Every structure is written in structure tokens, then in C-alpha cells.
Amino acid sequence: MNTRSILIVGVGGQGTLLASRVLGNLFVDLGYDVKISEVHGMAQRGGSVVTHVRYGTKVYSPLIEPGTADILLAFEKMEALRWIHFLKPDGRAIINSQEIEPMSVIMGTYEYPKDLEGRILKACAGTVFFDALSVAQELGNVRVANTALIGVLARLMDVAPEAWEKAIKAVVPPKTVDINLKAFRRGYNLEVS
Amino acid sequence: MKKLMLGNEAIARGAYEAGVRVATAYPGTPSTEITEFAAKYDEIYAEWSPNEKVALEVAIGASFAGARAMAAMKHVGLNVAADPLFTVSYTGVNAGLVVIVADDPGMHSSQNEQDSRYYARAAQIPMLEPADSQEALDFVKLAFELSEKYDTPVLIRLTTRVAHSQSIVTLGQRADIPLKEYKKLPEKNVMMPAMARKRHVEVEKRMKALARAASDLWINRIEMGDTSIGIIASGIAYQYAKEALPNASFLKLGMVNPLPQRLIESFAGKVKKLYVVEELEPVLEEQIKSWGIAITGKEIFPVQGELSANMIAEKIAGRAVDVRPAENLPPRPPVMCPGCPHRGIYYVMQKLRLHATGDIGCYTLGALPPLKAIDTCVCMGASIGMAHGMEKARGRDFSQRLVAVIGDSTFIHSGITGLIDVVYNRGASTVVILDNSTTGMTGHQDHPGTGRTLKGEAVPPINLVNLIRAIGIRHVRVVDPFELEDVEKALREETQREEPSVIIAQRPCALLSREVKAPVSIDEDICRHCGVCLHLGCPAIEKKIQGMHINHTLCNGCGLCLKVCKFGAIRRAGE
């Protein structure tokens, strides 16, 4: 199989690393070669963060090049637009509706962009917006927003949900397995075309 | 067993399988996780040393004493450890000694992007460079064999994308490597001039032997494909090139010092056009060209930043990828966290319009707007020496408006010697130690001041006040950085003194603190939109059209904004 690429983006502290761990576990379990690249250190402190996940028969580079990603999984709306040019022309985007203002906006140097959704749809018609934070809040733990988003991702991919659930169980803290699986199901049951 | 592993974890696994008994380090991105993972093996004694020089010296001692030993550091850490490195090259080893150095092309988390391969050449030490996690594991094991066979320390160079990428590895068993006999060998281990002159001859012999053996070493391999393009590459650059041009012919180098001249000449003869693809400096290129081989490298590739598969496809094959331009959006650089204890100090420093020499850590982020609290950042520990230098250059009037700002871990790493200099040479600097009880930026590692070791044992913490007094500083005071009035009083008084002084701002890192407080809110009826709270640079306080707003998903309830609001418009829920 040709190498496939999933780019995960967000703001440092949002839990993007957990999403990449779930994907890593899943693809290893399915027998693929897998490479995941993430940046630690300074960028984690509330900055723009990105994780590259690639899988296939044989993966060379751990990095996704602009114009080549199959899927963009975004935890924040402006970050989605920042990285959307990494998608290939027929790529899909799954975007958490949350907005987090960067310091430059907080200070009034810039405005948080208006009509983000319109600009995103113009760049990628196959975009799914999903309010993962509200789902997580309804379930009583804002930290499970990332598993809810993974649920939407699972919906778009040709892998049985049981395999995803196994990967989630292997990665999340044991005490939070139930709530994470609930969040995953909420995302997975989203009606998407 | 197969497992997905971070490059850094695979290095630790390789050390475990190679029978390593001692692993040392000072934390530094992108190398930190190596020693954290090594510490998880009961068979390995692992420690955070106060700095990289000490880390390497401990590893050298262990090697001389007969145990396989490893020291790990980031590229700039190797500068600190360079002194022992250059001389252990002369002494050689008893049991194997491997030094891991993690470079950071593109400077994701560093102050420069120096190329550590020059150290291998300058110190005459063999260097291996893995390209993924499996190679990281395998190369560590090979490095220990080479170290003992050729009586030399061995360097392993990582770059961020190998250190912080996960790929699949096959795990092996730990080798049973007994302690080697310890012998007193002054002619080998005491590097005074007469002995060192003889050892230098041995170093040259060893490097020649290694260079001869390099062409037959399994980690240097030719992968013949289309012979119109031949590519010489190592490490992550090999992966990028392979991604871009999978059908080309490759000479993949696992050892980047010394180079396998015979193998390179043979490969050059088999291909029509030869390229060298390497990140940062033309280290391979200059050597290959010096042998009269025609090769293209930095004529088409940059010496700064990272390479990429797209760039290689375009530069070598003329194949430009049609990519939508990136959108123009507000930047999102990293920021100090909500509840960060540094914010209190920086707010007051900004208010008093103090100049500040800064240092390396999360608090370097205080250079950015709105706090703009520090003027400089050069290297670990530099803040104190630089403040002293500024005072000597511009006089006491200037230095009364100047402080040095340094973290607790950084102070222990290399701030102490700077402070001794201030005392000894009659300076009057004021040093602010931002003591958040951890090594924050690299992800919360312990250090001699925290009272815990890397192995999780409780130990008596270094008493900073006593240490500073012992140096000869009479004025040391401890403040809570969130008590803004105390901070202001301390800064005003200490900067005016005609002798050196230290203010220790003590409050644990917001990410470590277990204290959970209710978030605070702004009462829009009381708020006058003066914007003072925005000067704190807290990511939770947002400026909306209707006024200031506090984002409760980010606010950790530290309450610092309550203290700066003159109108009492900010309140904690339930109060």
C-alpha cells in the first residue's frame, strides 16, 4: 500500500500527542509500517503544534510534505487553516470548532480571522466541522475532546471501530477508559458524507 | 517483539541491550527522553547531572572503572562537555563509552543550529548517525563494540526528526557484559604533556584504522537503482531523499566520521551524476570534494534549516510540487502558561522599566510582547556574567536599572560560577533566580534543588540561600513572585545596593502545582477597559469587542490578574 498521511494540528496543551499515540497503536496493530513525528520542548507551551502520522507498506520520511496529506485532523479552527495547504487536492479535514486566541490577537495586534469556516471550505470542500469540546463538556471531562475527534476520524476511515477502541484502551489512563470510549462513540456516530 | 518507539527511547533500549550500567545527562530538547527512558531499566544507574560536562565526566569515570557508560545531551550541551570530550579522545576507554548528541536543525527548541559533526572531526572521534528508531537501537549496540575494539569514545548524532519521531523497532535481549578489570594505567589515563604526546599518536593510528574499516562496515551500504542519479546521505536526510527519489541509487552512510573513502569512490564510479544530501554544514561534501570527486551539494541546498522531500525532488529532479500557498494568519508562538509564576516577576520588572539579561528556559519566553521583560539570551548561565560585563562597561548608574534573570536548574547548571565572578570582581549585580522547583522547558525534570533524583529517590535538596551566602553574598531574600508588592520592594531595594544581591522568586511551576483554584471572571459592568490585565500576557485573558474576557478552559485560577486590576473588576467564582 502506498504511504498515507494524517496531519494532526492544534495548540500546545490540547492533547494532540494522545491522538497520535492512538493512531500509532492502531496502525501497528493492523500490521503497517508507521512513522510519527512530533515536536517537544518549547513549542508545547501554547504554541502552534503539529504531529505527522504516516503509515503504509514501507514509510521513509516521518514528515508530511505540503500538498500531500490525506487527512488533516485539527483541534483548533485557525490552526486548521494554517496547515490546510498540507492537504492534497482531494484530502479531507476534520476540524474541532474550538477557537483559541493567540497572544498576538489577545494584545490586539491582529484580529482573530473572520469567516474561518468559509475560507477552510474554499480550500477543502471535504471538511467536517465538529464541536468536540461541547461533547466533552456534556460527558463531564474536557480532556476527552480529543477522543471524540478521533471518533469522527474513524468514521472517515476504513477500519473497524473495534480496532480503534482497542487502540484507545491501550493509550488512555485506565481510569478514563469508559469516558474516552463514550466520547469516541459520540464522534463515530456523527453523520458525515 | 515489535514496538513503536521514539528515537530517543530506542537509544535507551539500545543502551539497555548493550549492557550499559551507567547513563548520565542534563536535560535538553531534543535529547531529554533518552535518559528518562534509560532510568526505567533497573539494570541501569541513571542520573541527571548538574550539567553536561559533569555528565560526561561521570560517564568517563564509569568507563574507566570497567562499566559500559553513556552520556546524552543536546548539541549546545556538547559545547559544555567539550573539554572532557577532547581529552577522553586521547585516553580512550576501558569499558565502552558512547556520547549521544542531538542536533536541532531548524531550531525548534534551541538558540543555534550548530552541526555536531564538526566535533567528531575536531576531537578525532568516530560518529554514527541513525536514520530511524531501529537504527538508533542497533547503532548504540555497534557503537559500544567499536568503542571497545578501537579504544575510543564513540559519538552518536541524532537530529530532532530522528530523536522525536516514532518508528517500529524489534527488541532484543540485554547482553551480559561483566565489569572489566580496573587497572591503574597512568600512561593512558593521566593526560599530562609527556603522556598525552604519546596518546595523540595512538589517536591518529586509531582513526586511520577506523577509516580503513569503514568501507566494509555494514552500516555504510550501497543501494543501487537508476544510475543516472547517485545520492550520498545519512540520518534523516537519507529518509527525505528516499521519499523524494525512491528509484535513485544511494550510498547510505551510517558512520559520518571517519568517512569510507574507498566505498565513496566506488559508488561515484557507478553513477552518472553524484549528489550529497546533508542538513546544515557541508561536512561530507568538503571531504568528498577534497578527494577530487565531482559532487553537487550546497550549490543547490541551504546550510540553514531543515531539508525536505519536496525540496530534494525539486532541486535534484526539477520536480516542483504544486502546493497551495500558506494562508496569512496571526502567528501563534509559544507563550508562558496561565498561572506561570514567572509572570509576576516580569510584570513588576516591566513596570519598573528594568533591563534584564536573560537565560535559557521557559522564562526566555518573557522576551516576547507584551511582557518584553528580558533583553538577552545567549547560553546556559550567561545572564549573570553578562550583567556583570554590562556593569563594568557602562558603570553603576546603568546596572542599578539592570537585573540578571535565571532559572533554578540553569543556576545550578552554570550560574554559580558567574555569581562567584560578580563577588570576586567587586560587582554589584542583582540576580533574580526564578525558582519554580523544576527544569520546566524540557518537561519537568528533577535537579539538585528539587530533592528527588532521576531514579525517584528522595535526597536533601541544595539549599540555595545557604549556597549563595557561602559564596559571599550578604543580601539574599526569598519572595513569592505573586506577591507583587513584595517583589517590587525587593527589586527596588536590591538594585540600589552597592554590593551584589540575589532575589529568589519561589513558586512551583503552574503545570506541577496540584493546587486547583476556581477560574476568575471579569465583571463587565465594573471593567473600564484600561487593558492593564492584558500586560500580564496571560493566554486566558482575551480582548473582545465588548471588553476583556477570561477564557475558563485556559484559566487556572492563579489570581494574579485580580491583583493588577485597579477597579476590582476581576473576581473569583463564588467570591
Chain A's closest residue to B309, CA to CA, is A65
- A171, A143 in Cβ contact below 8 A? no
Mean pLDDT of A9-21: 88
| Residues B311, B304 contacting (CB under 8 angstroms) | no
Q: Which residue has the cell 523497532?
A: B169
**pLDDT attached to residue A104:** 86
Closest C-alpha among B239, B80, B101 to residue B163: B101
* Nearest partner of A63 among B542, B316, B310, judged by Cα: B310
Do B168 and A84 make contact, defined as CB atoms within 8 angstroms? no
pLDDT class of B273 with cuts at 50, 70, 90? very high
- B-facing residues of A in 71-90 (CB < 8 A) are 78-79, 81-82, 84-85
* CA–CA separation, B156 and B257 (whole Å): 10
| B566, B572, B573, B575: CA torsion to nearest 10 | -80
State yes or no: pLDDT of B53 exceeds 90: yes
Over residues B549-575, the pLDDT tens digits come to 998 888 999 999 999 999 999 999 776
Q: At which residue does the C-alpha cell 550583567 appear?
A: B387
Query: How many Cα atoms within 13 Å fall on the side-chain side of residue A137?
Result: 7
Residue among A46, A81, A84 minimizing CB distance to B334: A46
The grid cell for B81 is 562537555
Which is nearest to B125 in space by CA: B163, B165, B84, B162? B84
The DSSP bridge partners found for residue B405 are B432
CA atoms of B403 and B427, how far apart (whole Å): 12
Q: A56 exposed, middle or buried (CB, 10 Å; 0-12, 13-18, 19+)?
A: middle
> Cα separation of B545 and B330, whole Å?
17
Question: What is the DSSP-derived secondary structure letter of residue A183?
Answer: H
**pLDDT value at position A43?**
56
* Amino acid of residue B173: Q
Q: Is-contact B75 B30, C-beta < 8 A?
A: no
Residue range A32-50, pLDDT digits in tens: 999 999 877 655 678 889 9
Mean pLDDT within B400-423 = 98
Q: Which of B3, B309, B334 sits opposite A42 (nearest CB)?
A: B334
| DSSP type of residue B415 | I
- pLDDT tens-place string over residues B491-505: 999 999 999 999 999
**Nearest-neighbour CA in chain B from A190: distance (Å):** 24
Q: What residue type is assigned to position B529 of the chain?
A: H
| Residue A12 pLDDT exceeds 90 | no
Residues B99, A29: Cα–Cα separation, whole Å = 34
User: φ and ψ at A43, to 5 degrees?
Assistant: -60, -20
Smallest Cβ distance to B239: which of A62, A79, A108?
Answer: A62
Residue ranges in B18-81 assigned as alpha helix (H): 32-38, 52-64, 75-80
Q: What is the mean pLDDT of chain B?
A: 96
Q: SS3 for B215?
A: coil
Q: What percent of chain B has pLDDT over 90?
A: 93
Alpha-carbon distance B453 to B47, whole Å? 7
Q: Does A104 touch chain B (CB under 8 A)?
A: yes
Q: Tell me the per-residue pLDDT of B455-468, one tens digit each, with 9 for 90 and over.
A: 999 999 999 999 99
Contacts of A37 in chain B (CB under 8 A): 161, 164-166
Provide the terminal-to-terminal Cα distance of chain B, rounded to the nearest Å.
Answer: 57
Distance CA A72, CA A88 (A): 10
CB B294 within 8 A of CB B274: yes
pLDDT tens string B321-372? 778 889 999 999 888 999 999 999 999 999 999 999 999 999 999 999 899 9
Residue B439 carries which DSSP code?
B
How distant is the alpha carbon of residue B105 from its chain centre?
A: 12
Query: Cα(B512)–Cα(B522) distance, rounded to whole angstroms?
Result: 26
Residues A8 and A50: beta-carbon distance below 8 Å? yes
Tell me what the mean pLDDT of segment B158-186 comes to. Answer: 97
pLDDT of residue A41: 62
pLDDT value at position A44? 63
- Cβ distance of A103 and B368 shorter than 8 Å: yes
Task: Return the number of other C-beta atoms located less than 10 Å from residue B170's C-beta.
Answer: 10
Burial category of B248 from C-beta neighbours within 10 Å (exposed 0-12, middle 13-18, buried 19 and up)? buried
Q: CA B431, CA B406: separation in Å to the nearest integer?
A: 8
Three-state SS annotation for B406-445: EEHHHHHHHHHHHHHHHHHCCCCCEEEEEECCCECCCCCE
Q: Which residue has the higher pLDDT, A193 or B286?
A: B286
Contact B27, B194 (CB under 8 A): no
Provide the shortest C-alpha distance from residue A69 to chain B (in Å).
Answer: 11
Report the pLDDT value the prediction gives residue B554, as an integer from 0 to 100.
85
pLDDT at B133: 98
- Give residue B338's pLDDT: 92
Nearest CA in chain B to A120: B327
Whether chain A has a CB inside 8 Å of the CB on B381: the answer is no
For chain A, what percent of residues have pLDDT higher than 70?
Answer: 97
Closest to B419 (Cα-Cα) out of B362, B473, B340? B473
Distances in Å between the Cα of B258 and the Cα atoms of A2, B200, B253, B255, B370 are: 36, 17, 11, 7, 49
pLDDT tens digits for B105-135? 999 999 999 999 999 999 999 999 999 999 9
Tell me, what's the pLDDT at A42? 59
The one-letter amino acid at B470: A
Phi, psi at A154, each rounded to 5°: -60, -35
Residues of A whose CB is below 8 A from B370: 103, 107
